[in-house]
Structure 1
Amino acid sequence: MEAQQKIREQPVDLAILDIMMPGMDGLQLLKSIRGSHHFPVLFLSAKSQDHDKILGLELGADDYIAKPFNPLEVVARVNALLRRVHHFDVPAPPPEPEAKQLVLGALTLDLKECVLYVSGEPVMLTSTEYKILKLMMEEPGRVFTRKRIYEAVWEDFYMYEDNSIMVHISNIREKIERDSKKPEYLKTIRGLGYKINAPAEN
């Protein structure tokens, strides 16, 4: 497919996909992208049902806008995603004496390489997952509202309730928890938001 070839041959800052595309649908292409790349992915799709949006986010999309859409909103969201893209898929900087890290229990977030290690094993994160986890690991024990997370990560005003943050939190749990349904690190504080702490020692 032409899009896959371009991704292999040249650097990509951001991809805009539609679910319904000729040859390979957008969800299949997203799976292929997330196998080896971190750059942000935005879906623009006529499929506006919640389950379509949630599926796209679960597969690693960073944002999802249903058609018809306001072009100004698309530009604003693209700009917000591009403000974060310099953390991913860029040439490695010259070696530094020490890599800056955030450590919480068995989690180590390498801020130089933008890589998460769980019990010493590297775990791939999307750019949005990385930003959310970094935000929360910088202040363990603090309760983060959805509004606080959205405005810090998307660098935009939080104007409406949707499932995006919930889906990203769920994806992070799948990657860091022994049992995502009984989280030890990333917990929901009912009616308030989310917080991260090291698991309590038995």
Structure 2
Amino acid sequence: MYHVLIIDDDIALTQMLAEYLQQNGFTADVENSPVSAIAKVREQSFDVVLLDVMMPKLDGFETLKQIRTFSVVPVIMLTAKGEDYDRILGLELGADDYLAKPFNHRELLARMKALTRRLDDLSSFNQVQNLDFHGIKIEEASQRAMVGAHELDLTNTEFQLLTLLMRHVGHLLSKEKLSEDILGRRLSAFDRSLDMHVSNVRKKLSQQGIENVIKTMRGSGYIFKSKV
């Protein structure tokens, strides 16, 4: 059973959500205080974190910032307004996915299963590879991406995205395929999640002096270049 942590100050909602997830194959912990939740993520291992944006004293964005200083646990942001700004900011700060409130519980369950399915894929022997292009090394067994002696601080989603692109070096991967393989859902017209994850990967590579290795094919998808 996968272990999920729900961080939301709405006590009634979190109790109901925890019961629903427990009925569908998850072990669920609840923290209504973001400060306590951060400490809990430090102390325990979770497979997924559900993080509400609108909380008093410490909002979801600041909570995510603090979690990302020490953990790459997959995080799904729960945004009350569902506005583009909230979604984009959450993804820029390292969220793996987002869902606007009020949400359909089945949709949330599908998003969570997509994240945990990728964890299963990583542990599969047939999936494990070592990749090395343009000074970037991928060690799938240990889930590490290296530039020289420096380990890239990638989220799970960013690691999976970079790995998939490098596995298909020199070949175009459509946005549709990347969305289904990485995010676990079909690409929709106004969903910028994939583009934001690519942008985050590029920024982190650029910080280590790696530029222009991921090419955008406008309207089609992305290519990890065989030559730079």
Identity between Structure 1 and Structure 2 (%): 37
Contact 2:42 2:70 in 1 (8 A): no
* TM superposition shift of 1:77: 0.6
Contact 2:215 2:223 in 1 (8 A): yes
Matched, 1:108 2:137: yes
Quote the Cα distance in structure 2 between the aligned partners of 1:184 and 1:8. 35
Counterpart secondary structure, 1:74: helix
Deviations 1:169-194 (A, max 9, x none): 000000113699x9420010122111
Q: Indicate the residue corresponding to 1:62 in structure 2.
A: 96
Cα distance 1:191–1:156, how it changes in 2: closer, same or farther (>3 A)? closer
Contact 2:73 2:156 in 1 (8 A): yes
Contact 1:40 1:127 in 2 (8 A): yes
Q: Indicate the residue corresponding to 2:223 in structure 1.
A: 195
Contact 1:109 1:115 in 2 (8 A): yes
Quote the Cα distance in structure 1 between the aligned partners of 2:208 and 2:98. 28
Counterpart secondary structure, 1:81: helix
Mean Cα displacement is larger for which, 58-67 or 110-119? 110-119
Cα distance 1:136–1:159, how it changes in 2: closer, same or farther (>3 A)? same
* TM superposition shift of 1:161: 3.8
Contact 1:140 1:196 in 2 (8 A): yes
Contact 2:137 2:147 in 1 (8 A): yes
Q: Indicate the residue corresponding to 1:122 in structure 2.
A: 151
**Aligned 1:7-156 pairs, distance under 5 A:** 7-85=41-119, 100-156=129-185
Cα distance 1:39–1:171, how it changes in 2: closer, same or farther (>3 A)? same
Q: Which stretches in structure 1 are left out of the alignment for 5+ residues? A: 91-98
Q: Partner letter of residue 185 of structure 1?
A: V
Q: Partner letter of residue 136 of structure 1?
A: L
* TM superposition shift of 1:24: 1.2
TM-score by length of 2: 0.76
* TM superposition shift of 1:59: 0.3
* TM superposition shift of 1:85: 3.6
Contact 1:184 1:199 in 2 (8 A): no
Query: Structure with the greater relative contact order (CA < 8 A, sep ≥ 6): 1 or 2?
Result: 1
* TM superposition shift of 1:84: 2.4
TM-score by length of 1: 0.85
Counterpart secondary structure, 2:98: strand
Greater helix share, structure number: 2
Contact 1:34 1:60 in 2 (8 A): yes
Greater strand share, structure number: 2
Counterpart secondary structure, 2:76: strand
* TM superposition shift of 1:160: 4.5
Quote the Cα distance in structure 1 between the aligned partners of 2:207 and 2:64. 26
* TM superposition shift of 1:111: 1.1
Q: Indicate the residue corresponding to 1:173 in structure 2.
A: 202
* RMSD value, Cα: 2.3
* TM superposition shift of 1:159: 4.6
Contact 2:79 2:87 in 1 (8 A): no
Quote the Cα distance in structure 2 between the aligned partners of 1:4 and 1:66. 22
